[in-house]
Amino acid sequence: MDRPSALVGKTYWVKTFGCQMNLHDSERVSGLLDECGCISVSDSDEADVVVFMTCCVRENADQRLYGQASAMVSAPTPPSGRRVVAIGGCIAQRDGERIRAHIPVADVVFGTSALASLPDLLAEAFAEDGHEVEVDTIEKGRPFSTDLPSRRAQSFHAWVPIMTGCNNFCSFCIVPYVRGREKSRTMESVVAECERLVADGVREVTLLGQNVNSYGRSLYGEPHFAELLRRVGATGIERIRFTSSNPKDLSDETIRAMAEVDAVMPHLHLAVQSGSDRVLHAMRRAYTREEYLALVGRLNAGVDGLALSTDVIVGFPGETEADFEDTLSLVREAAFSSAYTFIYSPRPGTPAARIADDTPHEVIQERFDRLAQQVALQARDANQADLNGVVSVLVEGASKKGDDVVVGHSEKNQTVHLHLPAHEGAGNLVGKICDVHVDEARTWYLRGTLVGDPR
């Protein structure tokens, strides 16, 4: 594919907000710019091209974008004398050219399906010498982003999208409106990509989709996620993770594949959102409290040593104290080892945003605090279970805990800080899998010492 020569030698900086899909998209943006002869820099002040990859799932992501992007107005002029600011991702898809009402400095706006067009849009912006470029964010017929070049943040890990979009239309969620309907990649293309990654030295992949459990439905008429797990496991990859999973589509066949494919890590993020049947119905989650807990029971019976994490929303419109108590009791019964907890944030354009609610913020905040306390207690208990044991850790880099410490994640996705052996440099362990004796188990991390040789 021809790339515009006007970008050769331009410096660039990419800032990512939001989910793993956005992280993957940012790696593709970096790969595209590298291919155009651009040079990555670590400081936005030095960049000729600044790209913000955005998320609109929660309101705070909007505010962070507006703050950081607006700050570019007063940023020093780069050595080249001209800076182009591009806004991509979900907020760009949602707001289109209206985004300039909040961020006048934006020169380029490109949506979730328009990654491939970015080099040409940037070249046009430079050619216009500072004049705004009007861009339609909804570009149909684009290839999967996996067809584009990539600049991975880590040599040993790769994001592998297996599908885009979502068909569920939960009443609080903006994703189907900005990512579109479900569309799966062919199984052959996913497996071939994983084979290439293994050959390139990648040890861990994370399979991505808004609802991976329904993978394949758009191609084959029914989900084929369990088969995909088995085929990816046969590529020789050492670790497989996946996200996100909707409980309504997680089949017993997938549970068997999780148990039987050695490379699949014993960790599952299974968003529940609420423990109240009344609220779940209002959220359009398509399962009940009883069905969710029954699924958790089958998972624990089928997958040895499984660690479960989840998402929980507090303060959904109309949530009562009884509804919240149902959520709190479900969190206890499911015994989650960790949870992402959020206060409900209305997203314009979603059905839930139209539901009136007069619950005082102080009441919602108090409930949130109780939930956070319960989650922290369970996280601590889950980590205490590994105290004085040995966990397998993929080392990712230097730790902020000290110059002689590196950090990585266990098979159960726990954060683990590892003291470096004497005369061992941190760089020597990055990308290695280490057995770590757990000497200390805190609420949000483990800490330990190396056992045996890294591999």
- Report CA-CA distances (Å) from 169 to 139, 182, 316, 351: 22, 11, 16, 9
CA–CA separation, 41 and 30 (whole Å) = 11
SS3 content of the chain, % helix, strand, coil (to 5): 40, 20, 40
Is 36 labelled a binding residue?
Answer: no
Is 38 labelled a binding residue?
Answer: no
Is 194 labelled a binding residue?
Answer: no
* H helix count then E strand count, the chain: 14, 18
Structure tokens given for 438: 């757990």
Contact 380, 442 (CB under 8 A): yes
Q: What phi and psi, each to the nearest 5 degrees, are found at residue 122?
A: -65, -45
- Report CA-CA distances (Å) from 248 to 135, 168, 169, 287, 312: 38, 10, 13, 6, 16
Is 55 labelled a binding residue?
Answer: yes
* Three-state DSSP state, 440: strand
Q: Residue 70 CA to chain centroid, in angstroms? A: 25
- Which residues are known binding-site members? 19, 55, 90, 166, 170, 173
- Which residues are known binding-site members for [4Fe-4S] cluster? 19, 55, 90, 166, 170, 173
